[in-house]
Structure 1
Amino acid sequence: MSRPEHLAPPDIFYNEEEAKKYTQNSRIIDIQVQMSERAIELLTLPEDTPCYLLDIGCGSGLSGSVLEDQGHFWVGLDISKAMLDVALEREVEGDLLLSDMGQGCPFRAGTFDGAISISALQWLCNADKASHKPVQRLYKFFSSLYACLSRSARAVLQFYPENNEQMELVTTQAMKAGFYGGLVIDYPNSSKAKKFFLVLMTGGNMPLPKALGTEQKSQGKV
């Protein structure tokens, strides 16, 4: 099956028809909710404290709804107007911004207590226009994301890397932008359940959270 990012740029691929289909598919909704819940868990937010969070590539607001359910406030940005229109129809509580993440996160320094992104980061690895240079767009994104987070915040970005080169590309640019952290790969031995989360920290180098589905292999290790 072709990867969506190979078929068309995101603002073209996620047209009105695709946006509605995406938000009415119960399987997609379940997966998005599960990944959003896991991303929030990896943020390690303070308990019982509402946080102000950024949702990058928020689409129709499925992940934002999970943030709302957990008592947080959020701002979502996405490049697809059709997806944001569906989010408005769904009456999500977050503020929505039509924006290309490859041009950076347009917010004041230290605005957010954390950030999540579900199924969006891999789009930056492609050059959809002659002017697009993935390395530069990734660095612009990560450096502006770093700037708009508070100095103890984390960002957790779930994405679908195509190969090891893409994993290396995104991780390298994130570290160049000032982040600490790395990849957490849940259920690494399962072709269906395997999920990649880029866990980024602003406040210094901390141990990465434990991946799910790795208990047997890591048993006995510190």
Structure 2
Amino acid sequence: MSGRSAAGAAIFLAGFKLAAYARSHRLFQPLIGLIVMLGIFYAVAVPAGAETSSYADSAGLLIVVFAWAARGLLDTEPAEQRLVSMTAAGSAGREVIAGLVAAAAVNAGLAAVAVGTPLLYGFAVTPGPAVILQGAALHALGALVGTALGALTSRPVFPSPATSMLALFGGYVGLLLLSATPAGRVLVPVLGWMRAAGDGTLTASFAAFAVPTVLWSAAALTAYALLRRTRP
């Protein structure tokens, strides 16, 4: 299979997984969770000047929703269907990539809702483009972490639904707790970007938060791909 046809097969399979996820109604669970959390975040209008801090809190706290969405999508297909998908894609690796692309697409949509909602209802004053861009970047980081965490706690890795949910929420709490320690600087510095947004230093220090977050997510996704070699 040529590179172009392989990419086409992966994209087609990602679309198939998205359609199956939508038909299963699994999307409603994280979507309802997102709506509830946004309702809590913006129950009181955010005063002018505090929009970046609000976005930072939202991006960090919604990681668990993003993880929930990614896990739900990757769990939609039973093992037998995943084997069929691997055959259709031409390799197990392409099937894994297609699943992650589909999960990332879902979380990109949820992140867009999280960024756009307070612009319509939540902020006392509409912020400028720079603040909105920061909010979008922070939610992109949150969605990336959530996708990785959701993949690591999906059915191929944790066959038991109860164990999977415990691993998801336990992993999220663990990330938050570690981010309060020196180790958090090289893992996922969630509390770090929240503090930086609050004291106005986020722009200057954004790379210090983005780099370890991206590296941790890449390592987690690589671990998931390796685990899938023996857990179809």
TM-score, normalised to structure 2, is 0.29
Larger Rg: 2
**More strand as a share of residues:** 1
Q: Which has the higher contact order (CA 8 A, sep 6+)?
A: 2
**More helix as a share of residues:** 2
